[in-house]
């Protein structure tokens, strides 16, 4: 099964099982409901309840504080927990020239001293509250989150408000964390040929835009980052007017409005730095990247095509690209899997995905893992023939229906997960999309036609828009045993 986590650079990640408290609540909830039902029936007061019912999962409300901070509430009253996220409109594309990795370094430093008089560290506080917390730096944004019992929400809001305005950084902290980031690059990226390949393909795809730089930064530039660089970056971008706070969970807009006024309200507005907007020129030639590495277990191919994102596409264009990629490589019923794996035995695994959430640009990504007994040339020729057939002859109604059903199921699953729900909304808002745009997305995807998909294929599955990345181990010397 293809996992596209290799195609995205994240500085941190966290997954976990339910806490004992949550697990207990899940077990007790049905029992409690039955007991309540029996009590009401025995009392002779069983009536239908309509007024005061909780809002449906996903109901979204936006508000703004006087200091410019946008607050977004996403209601989910199924459990007494809350996911609290602070998204800053700054990421790797904002790293100054020659200082790649600065946004990522500051993400690490945000876990350092923001209160000189505190008797415990940030990590100790989160542990005491039973919170799950983490952060991530991407090209377009940096975000921090905590998942806590609802009763602890005021505390984490107060802490993030302090981090938004009161971070203090020493030279020693910057030097130490800078070394941590360099080691992270070595262990996460440089130790993995697949991630090195995707980094090189991304850098080749973007000749002008800063999307070509890895969010984690280049090692030689990370090594030169100084305390002043971090402080200046923090003061320029970490302010209420440059942030969005998203709170999803067992809360109401009225509750959050009051809490936000008490915690974030006093934070000075500050002066957010303007962000550079770059445009990638129209591609004129196909490009290739080849990585030969002894650590490569299987020959692998990546193919990227430059496209607009949801934020920059014309109406219906991004949705058509989404459906097109689901048809091509969205699972074992996709055309790539059926033709390249099952029928032609040209690959062990294949996949395709549209990366369309960027502020300024997007891309299509196609993937193929080739077996040791297969030839890379055979797979690439077969892939090119398959894509040419889609461009020339289009897709079937059955493929369209199946792909749209799979996308719909994915959106439903995301809505059922509080963290994914909050992230999907915040990720769109932070690059400039609206709540209405996000809410209407399922309907727009459902409205995509075969003609829309075929037009997108003709427009973007074009060789000159592509970068092909090939990865293999060095050839064995003659006479070497296999």
* Phi, psi angles (nearest 5°) of residue 325: -70, -35
Query: To which residue do tokens 């037009």 refer?
Result: 455
Structure tokens at 8: 């995205």
Token pair 């990546």: residue: 302
What whole-number distance in Å separates Cα of residue 439 and Cα of residue 420? Answer: 15
Under a CB-based contact definition with an 8 Å cutoff, are residues 298 and 371 in contact? yes
- C-alpha 374/C-alpha 370 separation (Å) is 6
Which one from 75, 107, 199, 454 is the annotated catalytic residue? 107
Q: Residue 411: is it exposed, middle or buried by C-beta count within 10 angstroms (0-12/13-18/19+)?
A: middle
Cα angle 300, 211, 433 (rounded to 5 degrees) comes to 115
Q: Checking DSSP bridges between strand 60-64 and strand 142-149, what pairing results, if any?
A: unpaired
Query: ∠94-159-108 over CA atoms, to 5°?
Result: 40
Q: Which SS3 state, helix, strand or coil, does residue 41 take?
A: helix
Active site residue 454: no
Query: For residue 360, how many C-alpha atoms fall within 13 Å in the half-sphere facing its CB?
Result: 19
Q: What is the DSSP string of 176-232?
A: HHHHHHHHHIIIIIIT-HHHHHHHHHHHHH-SSSGGGS-TT--HHHHTT--HHHHHH
Catalogue the active-site residues: 107
């Amino acid at each position: 099964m293809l996992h596209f986590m290799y195609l995205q650079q994240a500085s941190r990640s966290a997954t976990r099982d339910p806490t004992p408290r949550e697990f207990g609540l899940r077990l007790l909830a049905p029992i409690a409901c039955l007991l309540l039902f029996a009590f009401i029936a025995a009392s002779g007061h069983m009536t239908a309840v309509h007024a005061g019912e909780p809002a449906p999962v996903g109901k979204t409300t936006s508000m703004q504080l006087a200091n410019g901070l946008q607050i977004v509430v996403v209601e989910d009253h199924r459990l007494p927990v809350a996911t609290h996220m602070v998204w800053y409109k700054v990421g790797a594309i904002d790293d100054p020239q020659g200082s790649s990795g600065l946004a990522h370094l500051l993400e690490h430093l945000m876990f350092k001293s923001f209160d000189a008089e505190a008797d415990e560290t940030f990590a100790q506080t989160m542990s005491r509250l039973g919170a799950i917390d983490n952060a991530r730096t991407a090209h377009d944004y940096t975000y921090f989150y905590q998942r806590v019992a609802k009763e602890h929400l005021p505390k984490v809001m107060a802490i993030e408000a302090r981090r938004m305005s009161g971070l203090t950084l020493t030279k020693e902290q910057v030097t130490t964390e800078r070394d941590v980031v360099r080691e992270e690059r070595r262990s996460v990226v440089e130790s993995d040929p697949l991630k090195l390949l995707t980094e090189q393909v991304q850098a080749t795809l973007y000749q002008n835009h800063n999307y070509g730089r890895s969010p984690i930064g280049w090692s030689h530039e990370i090594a030169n980052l100084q305390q002043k660089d971090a402080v200046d970056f923090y003061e320029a971008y970490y302010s209420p007017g440059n942030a969005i706070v998203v709170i999803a969970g067992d809360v109401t807009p009225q509750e959050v409005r009051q809490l936000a006024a008490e915690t974030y309200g006093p934070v000075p507005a500050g002066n957010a730095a303007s962000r550079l907007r770059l445009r990638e020129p129209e591609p004129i030639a196909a490009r290739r990247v080849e990585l030969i590495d002894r650590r490569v277990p299987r020959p692998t191919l990546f193919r990227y095509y430059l496209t607009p994102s949801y934020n920059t596409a014309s109406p219906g264009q991004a949705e058509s690209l989404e459906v097109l990629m689901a048809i091509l490589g969205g699972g074992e019923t996709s055309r790539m899997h059926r033709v390249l794996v099952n029928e032609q035995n040209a690959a062990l695994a294949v996949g395709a995905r549209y990366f369309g959430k960027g502020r300024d640009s997007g891309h299509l990504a196609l993937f193929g893992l080739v077996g040791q007994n297969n030839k890379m040339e055979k797979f690439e020729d077969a892939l090119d023939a398959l894509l040419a057939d889609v461009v020339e002859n289009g897709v079937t109604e059955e493929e369209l229906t199946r792909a749209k059903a799979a996308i719909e199921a994915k959106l439903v699953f995301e809505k059922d997960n509080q963290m994914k729900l909050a992230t999907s909304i915040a990720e769109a808002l932070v690059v400039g999309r609206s709540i209405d745009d996000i809410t209407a997305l399922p309907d727009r995807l459902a409205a995509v036609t075969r003609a829309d998909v075929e037009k997108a294929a003709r427009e973007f599955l074009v060789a000159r828009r592509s970068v092909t990345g090939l990865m293999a181990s060095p050839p064995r010397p003659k006479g070497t045993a296999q």
